[in-house]
Structure formats: C-alpha cells, structure tokens
Structure 1
Amino acid sequence: MAEDATTLDDIVVTADRKARSVDTTLAPVSIITRQDIEQYQATSLPDVLRRLPGITLSNSGGAGKTTSVFMRGTNSSHVLVLVDGVKVGSATTGSIAFEDLPLDQVERIEVVRGPRSSLYGSEAIGGVIQIFTRKGGNGFQPEVSVSVGSHNTQKANVNLAGGTEATWYNLNAGTEQTDGFNATANNQEPDADGYARDSVALRAGHRFANGTEAEISAVHAAGDSQFDSSFNNETHFTQSVVSGKVTHALSDKVLLKAQLGQARDESDNYLNGQPLTAFRTYNTRRNSAAVQADVGVGENGSATVGLDWQNDQVTSDSVYDRTSRDNTGVFANYQTDFGKNRVDIAARHDDNEQFGGHNTGAVAIGRDLANGMRVTGSYGTAFKAPNFNDLYYPFSGDPTLTPETAQNAELGISGKLAGGKAQWSANVFSNEINNLISYPPPDYQVSQTDKARIQGLELSATTQLAGWEVNGNATLQQPENRSGVDAGKQLIYRPEQHANVDIDRELGKFRVGATVRGESQRYTDSANTESKKLAGYGTLDVRADYRVSKDWTVGAKLGNVLGKDYQTNNGYNQDGVNGLVTVKYAPK
C-alpha cells in the first residue's frame, strides 16, 4: 500500500502512496526517524507522537494504559494508521492501541496531517500515521539495550540486522514490564497498576536480478495491563500485523506494487485475576489486499491508480448484530509540475458492504517563491464508516448511525533559510465534519452530532542557535460543536492550544537535551461545564547520553522534572517525576 524508503530522510511515501521528496509533496508532513527516537530517548509511540504539530493525547494512567490520539482536533478514530503499509486498529472500537505497539521495533514514522480519504478511504479525516519497522542493510549490525527506571520499570531489547546489496533482514525481540502507579485519582483501588509486554518483529526482503523486490514483515506484541475498575481491572492483549509485498518495475516509467496483509487486535478481560463470564473477549481481524500502478506521464507528470480490498471480522462473547463486512476502494491520483507550480488531484470511490458507495476527492496547488519559500492551497473530502461498537455494542450502540463526512480547506506557507539548516512552516485549516460520532459523559451513549467545525493554525520551525538544535511547534485550534443544544461548545478532550519545544546539543562524547510541552485546558463534557474542566499544564523533560566507547552508550532521562500534577483524561493520574537509564551496545 505504500512503497518504503526508510533510508532517505527527505523522502516521504505516505502522503501520496508513492515515494516523493518532502519538498515535492503538497501535504503537511512530519517525519520521525530512528535517530530522532534515540536522541529523544522516547519510551513509547505516544511519547513520540505528542511532540508533533496538530497532535494531542488522552491517557488513562501511565505506561500501557489506553491512549487516544487526536489529530487536528478530530476524533481519535479519525486517524488512519498503517504498519508497513497494512491498516491496523480495532474493528470494534475503531481506535489503535498505540500504547501496545513496541517503539524499539520502529525505524521511521511518517505523519500526514489533513484528510487523505481520496487515497486511503475510510478513517483518514484527521490524517494518516504510517509506522515502518526496522530494516536491515549491508553487513551484520547487532544491537542490545537494557533499561531500568522508576516504578520498577525494566526493559530489554535485541536487534539483529544485516544483509547484502540484494538481501536484507531485521529480527527484533523485546520485553518490558513496570509496576506502574495508581492510575485513578479517586483512589478507587489505591494500588499500583502495572503493565507488561513481550514483542518480536521480523522484516526481510530480496531484490531479484530483473528488478523485482519481495518483502515480508511481521510484528507481534502480547502482554497484560492493569487498571482500576469495579467491572474489570486487567486486560490481556495481543497486537499483530503481517504482510507480504511485491514491487516490479515494468519500465523506467511504470512501477507495479501488490500487497497482502492482516492485522489482529485481541483482548481478554479479567477481574481480580479471574476471567469475566461476559464481556470478556473482543477479537478483531482485518484482512487487506492492494494493487497499485505508478506511471510516469510526460516529463514532469505522474499518475497512480490502484485498488484496495478490506474485510473486518469480529469475534466476541458480546452479541453483535453483524460481525463481518467488506470494503472495496478504487483510486486515482495525478501530479504534475509546470514551471514553479505544482498540481495534485486525487479521487476515490469506496463500496462498503454495509453503507454503500462513497466518493471522495482532493485537489492541491503549490507555487515556489523566491528565497526558498512555497505557498500551497488544498481542498479535500473524507468519510468514516461507523465501527461495530458504534452500531451494535450492548447498551450504547445505535444501528441507525450513518457515515461521518468531512470537507477540509487549507492554506500553507513554508520556507528554508541558511542553506536548509533552518526550516519553518505555517498552515491554516478549516475542517467541517457532518454526522460526528461521539460518546459524551456521563452515560457514554453514542451520539451523532449534526455538525462540528475545527479551525486551526499550525506553526513549526527547526534551526540551530548557538550550537543547539531547536525544534518547536505550536497549534492553535477551535474544535467546536456547531449544532444542537451544545452549539458553540468545545469538543471534549481537545485543548485549543498546545506547543512543544525540543532542544539538543552535542558536547564531545555527551549529548544533552530537554523538551518543554504545554497544553491549554480541555473539557470532559459536551456542555463545557466548569466543574468538568481539566486544567492546562506544562511539563519539562531533560535527557543526556554519554558515548563510553564507539560501541557503548549510556543514556539517562528525567521526565516531568517539575513534578507537575495534571490529567489528560478525567480521573486518571499522569506520572510525577520519573527517570529511566538505558545502556546500549551496538558494535561498529
């Protein structure tokens, strides 16, 4: 579904479903590399994603606890997530267990902000996140790391990578466990809520003499997470993704791709160590297939046509009126340059077995200006089919729900300074969403708001100041309900302002850095009741690593050093001052 190019930092494949330079694509894109992950000493996927413009989180009590990712103020289910080109997530909840996907097995993350249904179909209302697992190269490159930290946190990871010019492989295995801390603020169960996970990943491929490339990848993570609830207080989970991909160049103008994949999201619920007698098992499976052709057109044009097929299946001891459905999508994309101008047009038709046909499209225009600047403008439509919980979950589902639809308009300007060492961008967007699905407290019954509007401004910049690498971004947004009794109210769990700044510097064998993060207040009810408001907050993290030798590195990270007491989900604690020390051996 997307050609990988993990070795080239200036190439992005998710925005246009084919390899293009970041300077060429007209979509707002952020890239996180393996080097970034290690430099920031990030501990989880949510820890990485929250640094990016347009993204905020809601976490239910620390490591391994349910984490919702909101992109540009849209619902957490409005983010389409791919792992090595395969769509992942739960077919019941419609969300992705970011907290359970192992960061040690990630080589690169590409984040595209704004609707992408014209290329990917349902769910891409807020944007797309693609996660690439680690990929080997020439020679043998082993790596071992061990970490210990607060709350009796213990982690170990082994990565074996290698290959030749024609063959590559990467095998990764890891384990992690922590005692955690008390997840809930009301001391309903005043005990520590732990988390444990074991994971393994494999990625291997070969390039044949005729130019055909074949690759397989697999990620498997399993463990258990404890939390506070009178109904169930422990979940055993499994997350797995497998795929096979073939790419063949018919000529220097035509590239063919085909991929098969399957993603599983499985969970079993327990109370005080005993399996529940009802509402225990929720297993979902997503089978997918895709074929795509990239064709060069003339000197400066390129076209892409393709077909996607997806089947969602649910197995549960809860009663769902429907447990399977198919979706088939066909899409086309055309891009061309003429002079200093770029044009990108995309269209897609999805045929959903349950909801019928949906058409989506997008058009983007860009123009290069003097001094390395560029202006862009775009308009795109998107949709999302209700998930199985929306429709059929006992006591809260509504089988009369209709698909959500969205229309997004956007203007952007970006530039480079000092030979590309300094970059900046600004994007203004307005996203109109119809039939927005939500679960407002206190009864959490599914609701379909007639209309919501999210307007915003994203700012980002990276530069070097007095020897320091500085990366900063800020998002100002108005995620607003536009109809009914709550018209004009802020959508729940969406702050109106958030900002991040990372600063890092090398000092001989040392590297030091810090992260400052701040978010404004958020509401936990659709009526924006003052007593239901979560206060804004700011946190500071610091980090340092030391190269003991060419093969050994020791790193230390101290999180929330000011001991800020805050919540991102009503009633759930966030960690206070916390630390982690990591020793890594990677022979050169």
Structure 2
Amino acid sequence: MSSQAAERAPTEEDYFANVPVVLTASRLDQPLNEAPGAITVIDRHTIRLSGARTLVEVMRLVPGYLAGGWNGANPLASYHIPIDDYGTRNLVLIDGRSVYSTSYLGDTHRGMMDVMLEDIERIEVLRGANSAAYGANAMFGVINIITRHSADTVGGELSVSTGDNGIRDRRARIGVGDETASFRLSIGEQRDSGYLNAYDDRRLGQVNLRADFKPTMFDEVMVAMGVSYLDAGEGFSPTDDGNPFHTIRTRDAYWMAEWRRQLNDTDEIKVSANYMEDRKWDYATSPAVNKDDEPPYAPGELALWDYNSVGRRASLELQGTFSLTAGLRALLGLGHQGEQARSRGLYDSQKWVSVRESRAFGALEWRASPQWLVNAGLFAGQHSEAGTYHSPRLMVSWLALPGHTFRAGVTESERTPNLYEYFGSTRIFTSTGRLYDTETAATGNVKPESLKSKELGYTGRFPAQNLTLDLRVYDEDMHDYIRKSRGDYINRTDLNLVGAEYQIRWRPWVSTEFWLNQSFSRLKWDWPSYERNDERRPPEHTTLIGWFQRLPWEVQLSVIHERTGGMTFRDNRDWIPFSHRTDVRLAYPFRIGTSKAEAAFTVQSVEGDRPFFLVRRNFELTRKSFLTLRVEM
C-alpha cells in the first residue's frame, strides 16, 4: 500500500465496497473485518446527509456514544458519557494530533471544535478500549478524524446557514495546487443560542490551513496549523454563588507536521510532531454571601472567580511498519510528550506545572492460517508523576466464511491523572483579599485508573442483501475511578459495565439506505450505601434509526430518529426520563452557471423541546430549524 493511499484512502466509494480499510485499531492499515475491535466509519457524504452542524452531533451516529455538554456552548460526545462526561477517557485525534485540553480537566470538547465538518474525509471510531495503541486517554475508545487531502479540495466553496435559536453560520474555503504541492485555507464562524433557559450563547471562529507536498515518489509531507476562538455564555444567574453569569473566551492554536517515507510496497516510516496551546479567559464576580461560621462580609464585598489559564502540549513520535514474513506484520514506535499549564486561579501559583511522558508502542498481526488472525499490541509509558505503566491487548479473529468474522480478546488499560487532578489548587478570594472558598486542594496522591475489558465481536457482510452487521459484547471492570472528594482528587471507587451493541447498514436499493444502531448496558458501582446519590447512570438502552433516501430530481431526504432510556449526566438530582428526538433534512442540488450548489432545510428535534443535562435548572434542548446554501466553485 503506497503512502499516498495510506493518507488519502479509503475513499467514499471504498466504504460501500466489500472490504473497507481502516487505520485506527492498531495503527496498521487493515480491512475492517480483520481489525482488533469494533469500528464505526462515517464518511463525508454521510456527515452532510446527517444535517449536523457540529462534530458532536455527528457522533450520535455511533453506537454507545451520547452527545452532552453542561451547556449548549460546550457540546461534547463520548463513549460511556455519564462515566466520562468531559471526554477525558476517550481519545480524539485530528490527523493523528491529540486534542484534549491540557490546562484544566483534560476535556476534549474544545479540541473537537478545531475542525470544520466540510474538511473531514472520514471519521473512524473504535468503540472500546484502545490504550494498547495510543496510551492513557484511549481507555474508552478513539475518535480518529481524518481530514481531506488538500489536493482533493482545489477550488473554492462558500456556505451559509441561518435559522432560529440564533443560528448564523458561514464558511469559506479555497484550495490551490496539484498532486505535487497543494494548499487549503478554511475560514468559518458559527453562532447559536444554546439550550433553552440557559445563559450559553456561543460564537465560534475557526481558521485552518493544510498543505501537502510530494517531493519524491517515495516521500510525502503534510503541514497543518490553525486557531479557533470561542465566546461562550456561562453561569446560572447574575448573583449565583458559585457560577454567576459571565462570558468565557478561549483560543486554541496548533501546528503539526508529518513526514512519511515508503520503503517498499508494504513498509514505511513516519515521523510526526505537533504543538497545541489552549488559553482561557474566565473571570466573574458575585456578591459575597455571608456564612454562619464566619464574620460577615462588608457591604459591596465581592467574590472573585478567576479561572484564567493557559496550557501547552508538545509531542514527537516516530513509527515504522514492517512486513516480517508473508503472514506477519509489525509496527514499532517511540514518542515523547510534555504538558504544562499555568493559572493563578486554578493552581494557586504563577509558575508552570508540568508532566512528561516517554512512550513505546508496538503491534503484531499474525495470519496463522487463512481463517485465523492474531492481533497483539502493547503500549508502555514512563510518566514523570505516575511512573511506569503499560497497556497490552490480545485479540483473536476467526474468519469463518468470506465476509464473516468472529473475534474475542482482552485489553488492559491505564489512565494517568491529568495536571489538574495532580496539582489543582483553586481558592476563591473576595475583593478585600479574604479567602472565600476552597474549591480544589489536590494532594497529588491520586493513582492511575485501570480498566480490564473483555470483548466478543462479529462483523458480517451480506452482499446479496447489501447489508452489513457489526456486533460487540463487552464486560469492563474499572478500578480506582478518579473523582473529587472534599476538594481532593482521589481514587474513589470501582465499577463494572457490561453491555452489547450493534450497527446495521442496509441498502435495499441504490437510492435508499437504512441505519439501525442499538446499545444495551448495565452499570454497577461499588459505592458505599451512603454515597448512592452520587451515582452516574448511563441509559440502559439507546436506539438510532437513520433513513437516507434519494428522491426524484436528485432531492435528498434524511430522517434520523434517536431514542434514549432514562439516565443522568451528573447524579440522581438530574434524572432525565426516556426521551426521543427526530431530525429531518431535505436537500436540493442545482447549478449556478458552472458551479455546483445545494440548498438544504434541516429541522432538529421535530418533536419539540425536551429536558436535558441540568434538569433541576430547567435546561432543555430546543427544536431548531435552519436553511443552508452551499456553492462549490
């Protein structure tokens, strides 16, 4: 497989072929039915048909993933989301670059805003533990976003969207070059009003540049950089004692470079480097509230909430892929990563706090016979605070019949605590300098979390019916789950999660495609009885049905219906009852001279408003409708 094919393939057409190729499970390019894990692939065509405005909305198409966010300005999606409501345990990659935040909670929602949907070639989502390939933050899964090669986006594109709930989106893209050297510049802005009954208006600006070069027939170089700005409403009331109304401003900037050299038809080496800086301006005041056990505050004395911060992460990685024998392939890699953050409000210091990690990883794919395939992987890290940790995986696949694969395996994962869990020291002072509250006082005694995941899976293709089926059954035991207790981050409890999920894609006719996703799970926390009210509960069942229909005159109809069982994102005080949501999109393609154009009308949550996230504060997801016009030149 050539290096260009590894970067740009599989194409949209490949996903409807018999054996699509994926890259995410082991870092080796593998047919989907031979990958050591359950993978959902979403291509750019499906992203457009879905009517999604954000990457989080796209992730609803993946079994086991839920969309959330403590308000509408901060949407996020994750596997097992009530256990991982900030996405800390779910690795998100954009062209191989990790996007979790360094400065605060290790969350991924801001990094997911770094990419524009129109620039994405495909998304590969490995559902389940994959720390054996990527390390600590891949404990619950990997979202691997692969953007379009700039040579495939030569020309221009303009799009605008307008609708209710304050929706005002606009985007422009220009691309120049050829297969030897090409460039793409994308600029966009999104605005909306978030949830009902919440102070969470959002304005997101994005600028992204990608350049691709092919200096020789054996070498490829990719360089990318970008910046995103977010103005987000935050708070519960003008005088709330803890989170008053205010505006948070963030800026995320990154650059990355990657060089690939094809050694022969099967072997290659790759070197990649990236740097990310996330800044947040988060400052608010509220009247100091008198407490019974302290002297009263002076009239007009204010509590000062100062969460201004800056975080930085730099990473360097080398990996090689080699065919050792006719039935044995190997991948070996080394890397180093450094993270640092500075915040007077979050860390009670003007000094930088930092961690470093050196890493080694590898994978073996052994075709023992035409019907038996063994995938083994190991990730080992040396962390400056956590010490040495390792994450192994062993998966055995039985290719029983052409198009039908059964797999079984076990993966062990560890997640090292993030900077805030180690060093967080957040103290709230008043305008006269008095200590008002201690929100976090981390002692640094927290240990890594560990997860043992056992999995059975099946991948089936039925060409005569144009149908595919993917099934995953799992049993996951997690130990030393990290959570805050009395201001300190500690290893508070264990849990067991068992479940099953499947996805069906059926194309009965060329113009019609149906999707059916379902997931079922049962979570058992090992809490003491007096702490049961703190339990987070995922839904025991979710269902998503998608219908994509091409009508006469090339009109495209999309209907996506989602049903979610009762659940809670935080604790039992915000129990969300069974809910359902239907999105409908109708699009008409046409031409303006020689330019292709499309007009689309989308309605999200046709049924109307419904309670969401902080139910006790009456937060609701509202019905939204918007019109989008897109022109390609």
Q: Shared fold by TM > 0.5?
A: yes
1:234 alignment partner AA:
T
Unaligned runs of 5+ in 1: 185-191
> Is the deviation greater in 408-417 or in 566-575?
566-575
Please point out which of 609, 619, 625 is paired with 1:573: 619
Please point out which of 396, 412, 421 is paired with 2:466: 421
Check 1:265–1:68 CA distance in 2 against 1; reply closer, same or farther (3 A cut): farther
Instruction: Give 1:137's aligned residue.
Output: 151
- The question of whether the paired residues in 2 share the 8 Å contact of 1:314 and 1:324 is answered with yes
SS state of the match for residue 554, structure 1?
strand
Structure 1: distance between partners of 2:79 and 2:535 = 11
SS state of the match for residue 93, structure 1?
coil
Instruction: Give 1:263's aligned residue.
Output: 276
2:26 alignment partner AA:
D
Structure 2: distance between partners of 1:104 and 1:270 = 34
Structure 1: distance between partners of 2:366 and 2:358 = 27
Please point out which of 340, 356, 364 is paired with 2:395: 364
Instruction: Give 1:312's aligned residue.
Output: 339
**Residue 209 of structure 1: how far off its partner (Å):** 2.2
Is structure 2 residue 481 aligned with structure 1 residue 468?
Answer: no
Q: Counterparts in 2 of 1:104-253, with a 5 A limit?
A: 104-137=118-151, 140-180=154-194, 182-184=196-198, 193-229=200-236, 230=240, 231-232=243-244, 233-253=246-266
Check 1:468–1:551 CA distance in 2 against 1; reply closer, same or farther (3 A cut): same
1:201 alignment partner AA:
N
Instruction: Give 2:585's aligned residue.
Output: 543
**Residue 39 of structure 1: how far off its partner (Å):** 1.1
SS state of the match for residue 391, structure 1?
helix
Structure 1: distance between partners of 2:471 and 2:153 = 42
> Is the deviation greater in 264-273 or in 140-149?
264-273
Please point out which of 33, 43, 49 is paired with 1:33: 43
SS state of the match for residue 455, structure 1?
strand
**Residue 328 of structure 1: how far off its partner (Å):** 0.7
1:214-248 superposed Cα distances (whole Å, 9 cap, x missing partner): 11012321120012233452110112331101111
Structure 2: distance between partners of 1:195 and 1:539 = 22
- The question of whether the paired residues in 2 share the 8 Å contact of 1:72 and 1:477 is answered with no
TM score, norm. by length of structure 2? 0.85
Please point out which of 53, 66, 79 is paired with 1:70: 79
SS state of the match for residue 534, structure 1?
coil
1:539-563 superposed Cα distances (whole Å, 9 cap, x missing partner): 1111100012361110010011111
SS state of the match for residue 88, structure 2?
helix
Q: Percent identity?
A: 18
Structure 2: distance between partners of 1:107 and 1:245 = 18
| RMSD, aligned α-carbons | 2.7
**Residue 196 of structure 1: how far off its partner (Å):** 0.6
**Residue 169 of structure 1: how far off its partner (Å):** 2.4
Structure 2: distance between partners of 1:398 and 1:572 = 36
**Residue 455 of structure 1: how far off its partner (Å):** 0.8
Structure 2: distance between partners of 1:479 and 1:162 = 51
Is structure 2 residue 95 aligned with structure 1 residue 95?
Answer: no
Instruction: Give 1:187's aligned residue.
Output: none
Structure 1: distance between partners of 2:148 and 2:94 = 11
Please point out which of 4, 8, 15 is paired with 2:7: 4
Please point out which of 15, 21, 24 is paired with 2:25: 15
**Residue 171 of structure 1: how far off its partner (Å):** 1.5
Please point out which of 479, 486, 498 is paired with 2:542: 498
Instruction: Give 1:450's aligned residue.
Output: 493
Structure 1: distance between partners of 2:456 and 2:162 = 46
2:536 alignment partner AA:
I
1:200 alignment partner AA:
V
TM score, norm. by length of structure 1? 0.91
Structure 2: distance between partners of 1:575 and 1:253 = 49
Structure 2: distance between partners of 1:166 and 1:296 = 28
Unaligned runs of 5+ in 2: 287-301, 427-438
Structure 2: distance between partners of 1:434 and 1:70 = 18
Check 1:65–1:444 CA distance in 2 against 1; reply closer, same or farther (3 A cut): farther
Instruction: Give 2:435's aligned residue.
Output: none
- The question of whether the paired residues in 1 share the 8 Å contact of 2:283 and 2:308 is answered with no
Q: Counterparts in 2 of 1:325-340, with a 5 A limit?
A: 325-337=355-367, 338-340=369-371
Structure 2: distance between partners of 1:142 and 1:197 = 22
2:258 alignment partner AA:
K
**Residue 518 of structure 1: how far off its partner (Å):** 1.1
**Residue 287 of structure 1: how far off its partner (Å):** 0.5
SS state of the match for residue 48, structure 1?
helix
Check 1:487–1:304 CA distance in 2 against 1; reply closer, same or farther (3 A cut): farther
Instruction: Give 2:419's aligned residue.
Output: 388
Structure 2: distance between partners of 1:61 and 1:94 = 18
Check 1:26–1:142 CA distance in 2 against 1; reply closer, same or farther (3 A cut): same
1:251 alignment partner AA:
N
1:284-310 superposed Cα distances (whole Å, 9 cap, x missing partner): 111001000100121122100101211
Instruction: Give 2:452's aligned residue.
Output: 407
Structure 1: distance between partners of 2:396 and 2:417 = 32
1:50-87 superposed Cα distances (whole Å, 9 cap, x missing partner): 2211111322332x225352347652311011111111
**Residue 389 of structure 1: how far off its partner (Å):** 1.9
Structure 2: distance between partners of 1:468 and 1:212 = 41
Check 1:278–1:559 CA distance in 2 against 1; reply closer, same or farther (3 A cut): closer
- The question of whether the paired residues in 2 share the 8 Å contact of 1:60 and 1:572 is answered with no
Structure 2: distance between partners of 1:326 and 1:156 = 39
- The question of whether the paired residues in 1 share the 8 Å contact of 2:284 and 2:306 is answered with no
- The question of whether the paired residues in 1 share the 8 Å contact of 2:483 and 2:491 is answered with yes
SS state of the match for residue 50, structure 1?
helix
SS state of the match for residue 132, structure 2?
helix
Check 1:341–1:491 CA distance in 2 against 1; reply closer, same or farther (3 A cut): farther
1:547 alignment partner AA:
P
Structure 2: distance between partners of 1:79 and 1:167 = 34
- The question of whether the paired residues in 1 share the 8 Å contact of 2:409 and 2:454 is answered with yes
Check 1:180–1:425 CA distance in 2 against 1; reply closer, same or farther (3 A cut): closer
2:539 alignment partner AA:
P
2:206 alignment partner AA:
S
Structure 1: distance between partners of 2:453 and 2:494 = 13
**Residue 504 of structure 1: how far off its partner (Å):** 1.0
- The question of whether the paired residues in 2 share the 8 Å contact of 1:342 and 1:365 is answered with yes
Query: Of Structure 1 and Structure 2, which has the larger fraction of its residues in helix?
Result: 2
1:189-223 superposed Cα distances (whole Å, 9 cap, x missing partner): xxx53111111111111112241111101232112
SS state of the match for residue 49, structure 2?
helix
SS state of the match for residue 422, structure 2?
helix
Instruction: Give 1:188's aligned residue.
Output: none
**Residue 465 of structure 1: how far off its partner (Å):** 4.1
> Is the deviation greater in 475-484 or in 27-36?
475-484
Structure 1: distance between partners of 2:611 and 2:81 = 22
Check 1:376–1:181 CA distance in 2 against 1; reply closer, same or farther (3 A cut): closer
- The question of whether the paired residues in 2 share the 8 Å contact of 1:84 and 1:217 is answered with no
SS state of the match for residue 621, structure 2?
coil
**Residue 487 of structure 1: how far off its partner (Å):** 8.9
- The question of whether the paired residues in 1 share the 8 Å contact of 2:167 and 2:191 is answered with yes
**Residue 159 of structure 1: how far off its partner (Å):** 1.6
Is structure 2 residue 577 aligned with structure 1 residue 518?
Answer: no
1:70 alignment partner AA:
Y
SS state of the match for residue 123, structure 1?
helix
1:195 alignment partner AA:
R
